[in-house]
Chains A and B, each alone.
Chain A
Amino acid sequence: MEQFVPVKRSKDGQPVRYLVVDDSVFARKNLARMIETFGGQLCGEAGDGMTAITEYDRTNPDIVLMDITMPQMEGIEAAEKIVQKHPEARVVMVSSVGYQENIVAALQRGARHFVQKPVKPEVLYEVIKYVMGDDGTVASAAGAGD
């Protein structure tokens, strides 16, 4: 898998920490590998919306990558609950179902962005940079291998 110039946290230069929420183990592993290529750190995983909320409280991630269709509690509802409690939360929806209504519903309920599966690493990388905004910094290419 392609390596990207690491995205770090501006405040302390540490790797961006991710919580990955998907009921598919395959999808979680796939996203975890992408995160590694972005220089990020996987701080937690969840297989449903309910667990995502408790994992958010426990890990306090910089970014949440959240599937939509999941058992117990769907991703949009979980995103809304997380953002209600933590307005600073950056939730990116990652779903194969990318029709307009779904995207609008997710954004209206607190998600910052939407990425359709199958996820292209270069697309997710750009979204991460955008969502992190000034709180993220891209290490210089010269320092990327350090």
Chain B
Amino acid sequence: MKMELIQPFINAADAVLAQGLQCPMSIGNLSMEEEAYRRKGIAALIWITGDIEGRVILDLDPQTAVRVASKFAEAELPETDELVRETVFELANQVIGNAITVLNDQGFHFRVHPPVLHTSEHGPKSSEDTEALVICFETGIGDVFMNIALRYSHSLRTEQAAAVGQ
């Protein structure tokens, strides 16, 4: 896992959550995911293609998702409210948008696909060249998990290998 690819996502999640939730936050457990991803609750999955490819999942257990959405809405929302899912999607969009802004300004180009609801209990397994990193953000109103599996695209890796070989 290339930390230079991951760090912008961690920084973006930290900034987006801290600003939106207005509560103390810290980065808790950080682990490599070798087995298939196990969903915690309401999970937004965003695919990224281009110079860097892979996917990012933002995942909140249902109770935390309700608390987070209620905080943003400044009103108590029921778990069934569509706005709860919408909030998780928009947070994922903002985290990824902010991260790719940084990476784009470093010269990487991508396409970010609209978020989709990750409904299966288990996600795709990591592979040798795409390990997944799971970061837990401990907020005052619950844990927010971000699962990142990214790699340089095949064409970019070929270019890099050619440059090293010269």
Question: A residues within 8 Å of B by Cβ?
Answer: 1, 23-27, 29-30, 33, 69, 71, 95-101, 116-118, 120
Contacts and interface: CB of A to CB of B under 8 A. Distances in A.
Interface in B92-149: 93-98, 100-101, 104-105, 112, 114
Contact of B83 (A29, A69, A120): A29
Nearest to A68: B97
Interface of B: 15-16, 19-20, 69, 72-74, 82-83, 86-87, 89-90, 93-98, 100-101, 104-105, 112, 114
A26 B89 CA distance: 9
Nearest to B95: A96
Nearest to A67: B93
Contacts of B16: 118
A24 B86 contact: yes
Contacts of B69: 26
A29 B100 CA distance: 25
Given A118-B16, A118-B19, A97 B74 contact: no
